[in-house]
């Protein structure tokens, strides 16, 4: 079974600085997606960035980028020029390849990292 | 609708009572997921619907939990004889199972704001 591990329960960063959130996962599949979701106090999970496993190039979205190391099964999120609005819980998530038995994709989430941004 | 809508936003009930939580997914999304998120934890899978049928209910903790999606759109999560341990945020998410013509399937889940259930 696949697992997702976020070993940093909480991180702090100074406004305008850069912070990296860690995520590791375990799988025997070769075809999968990885995501980072942000969950502010409003509770709604918002997609930050996605990475398809077959793509070697690291995904970037404005101030957000990932370091995807497929062999090491590592998927870290880098936030540059941190802003107060970046403060939230961040969840790393894994989407499995299609399961023909159940007819579904499995999405597995880590336990999250709470990011505090200091003014 | 424009986004995933969940009602109620907050529900307080007494131990032993029955509750229903509703999810209205994004129009056209055939895949619908229910997750449970306890305080300080990540979302835990409960059940997945493809259309009207529950394709995977392996995450339901016991037979007090049940979910339906009779017309392939709105889904209701039903909890009988609630216990204090059921207190959590229940999240609903939807996605495209397969991309439509000319539309990329980005693989992501689109979440609602969740229903916070408190069992006293």
Total number of domains in chain B: 1
Give me the architecture of the A3-114 domain, per CATH: Sandwich (2.60)
* Nearest-CB residue to B55 (from A46, A104, A109): A104
Measured between beta carbons, the chain A residues lying within 8 angstroms of B7 are: none
Ranges in chain B, pLDDT < 70: 1, 97-106
CA distance B6 to chain A (A): 11
Q: List the pLDDT tens digit at each of the 119 positions of chain A.
A: 889 999 999 999 999 999 999 999 999 998 899 999 999 988 889 999 999 999 989 999 999 999 999 999 999 999 999 999 999 999 999 999 888 877 778 899 999 999 999 99
CA distance B117 to chain A (A): 13
Q: Could you report the per-residue pLDDT of B31-65, keeping only the tens digit for each?
A: 999 999 998 899 999 999 988 888 889 999 999 99
Structure confidence at residue A36 (pLDDT): 98
Neighbours of A59 (CB within 10 A): 19
Asked, for residue B33, whether it belongs to a domain, the answer is yes
Asked, for residue B105, whether it belongs to a domain, the answer is no
Asked, for residue B91, whether it belongs to a domain, the answer is yes
Asked, for residue B28, whether it belongs to a domain, the answer is yes
CA distance B112 to chain A (A): 6
Structure confidence at residue B98 (pLDDT): 57
Structure confidence at residue A13 (pLDDT): 97
Contact criterion met (CB < 8 Å) for B108 and A104 = no
Measured between beta carbons, the chain B residues lying within 8 angstroms of A33 are: 107-108
Contact criterion met (CB < 8 Å) for A107 and B50 = no
Asked, for residue B60, whether it belongs to a domain, the answer is yes
Which of B72, B6, B71 has the alpha carbon at shortest distance from B35?
B6
CATH classification at residue B23: 2.60.40.10
Residue range of the domain that includes B54? 5-100+110-119
Q: Which residue has the tokens 């399961």?
A: A99
| Strand B10-13 versus strand B19-24 pairing type | unpaired
């Amino acid at each position: 079974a696949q697992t997702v591990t976020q070993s940093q329960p909480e991180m702090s960063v100074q406004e305008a600085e850069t912070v990296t959130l860690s995520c590791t996962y375990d799988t025997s599949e070769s075809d999968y997606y990885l995501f980072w979701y942000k969950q502010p106090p409003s509770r709604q999970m918002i997609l930050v960035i996605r990475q398809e496993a077959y793509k070697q190039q690291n995904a970037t979205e404005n101030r957000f980028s990932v370091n995807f190391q497929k062999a090491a099964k590592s998927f870290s999120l880098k936030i540059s020029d941190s802003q107060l609005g970046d403060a939230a819980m961040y969840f790393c998530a894994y989407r499995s390849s299609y399961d023909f038995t159940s007819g579904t994709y499995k999405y597995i989430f880590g336990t999250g990292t709470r990011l505090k941004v200091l003014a | 609708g424009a986004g995933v809508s969940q009602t109620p936003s907050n529900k307080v009930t007494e131990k032993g009572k029955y509750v229903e939580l509703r999810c209205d997914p994004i129009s056209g999304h055939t895949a619908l997921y229910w997750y449970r998120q306890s305080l300080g934890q990540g979302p835990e899978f409960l059940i997945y619907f493809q259309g009207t049928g529950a394709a995977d209910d392996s995450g339901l903790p016991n037979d007090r939990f049940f979910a339906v999606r009779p017309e392939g759109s709105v889904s209701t999560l039903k909890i009988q004889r609630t216990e204090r341990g059921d207190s959590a945020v229940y999240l609903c998410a939807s996605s495209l199972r397969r991309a439509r013509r000319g539309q990329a399937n980005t693989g992501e889940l689109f979440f609602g704001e969740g229903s916070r259930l408190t069992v006293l």
